Amino acid sequence: MRYGQLQALTDVTLSVAAGEAVAIIGANGAGKSTLLRTIAGLHRPAAGKIQLDGREITALPAHERVRAGVVQVPEGRRLFPSLTLEENLQIGATRGRAGEWNLSRVYELFPWMPARRHMTTVFLSGGEQQSVAIGRALMANPRILLLDELSLGLAPAVVQRLYALLPDLLESGLGVLLVEQDVTQALRISGHAHCLLEGRITLSGRPADLAPADVEAAYFGFERRGRRG
């Protein structure tokens, strides 16, 4: 699984392998969300290519990318208020691929859900809403999952619990590209990280190889350093 030559921002090139989590970190306005939204098909890049398994998907509209296996968990959850919890999950399967994920699998993952499946999601807590958004994305049986600011507005303990789901998902061969402001969290769970500053990648590498001082510099842009990794 590979994304090449995505130049919607500026010279951003990255790839995600099956079973790998890749993190994009960076400050507000660095272009992280734009990058994810472009991959999801919500922005058309001015130039560059997006490939999935060698097949170019740059021209596919968002709903067709879901069928191809690219599914996004949007920033701020974006659940549908006029749908019940269960309907919010079901809608994820509208153009989904065949696979192991279905309602009962999602309910296994989040055992609190069945009791409230006929309720609207408006009154759920932030962490519960985020779980529904993740479940909705999984229902499509994605090849690659795009996680946009999973931690936004959630308590640290809740964020921990959500990210704890990730290893099992990766184990099943899913690729994950995540955008995160919480750098520590992102570096802990990813196998590869890119730091984005003003639309450019300022630092890339395996989290273990990145020195905190370098990350800080790349994140805030105090001083320009050469690309690593």
**Rule CB under 8 A: which residues touch another protein?**
40-42, 61-63, 66-67, 71-72, 74, 78, 80-83, 87, 90-96, 136-137, 140
- CB of 77 or CB of 192, closer to another protein: 77
- How far is it, in rounded angstroms, from Cα 32 to Cα 14? 13
- How far is it, in rounded angstroms, from Cα 67 to Cα 64? 5
- CB of 66 or CB of 106, closer to another protein: 66
Smallest gap from residue 219 Cβ to another protein (A): 28
Which residue in this structure is represented by tokens 């690219």? 70
Smallest gap from residue 218 Cβ to another protein (A): 29
Smallest gap from residue 69 Cβ to another protein (A): 11
* End-to-end alpha carbon distance in the chain: 19
Neighbour tally for 93: CB within 10 Å: 20
- How far is it, in rounded angstroms, from Cα 120 to Cα 87? 9
Q: What is the CA radius of gyration of the chain?
A: 17
- CB of 17 or CB of 83, closer to another protein: 83
- CB of 142 or CB of 205, closer to another protein: 142
Smallest gap from residue 68 Cβ to another protein (A): 10
- CB of 87 or CB of 214, closer to another protein: 87
- Which residues 6+ apart lie within 8 Å of 166 measured at CB? 21, 176, 189
Smallest gap from residue 115 Cβ to another protein (A): 19
Smallest gap from residue 61 Cβ to another protein (A): 7
Yes or no: say if 103 and 67 are a contact pair by the CB < 8 Å rule. Answer: no
- How far is it, in rounded angstroms, from Cα 75 to Cα 155? 16
- Which residues 6+ apart lie within 8 Å of 200 measured at CB? 9, 10, 11, 12
- CB of 27 or CB of 42, closer to another protein: 42
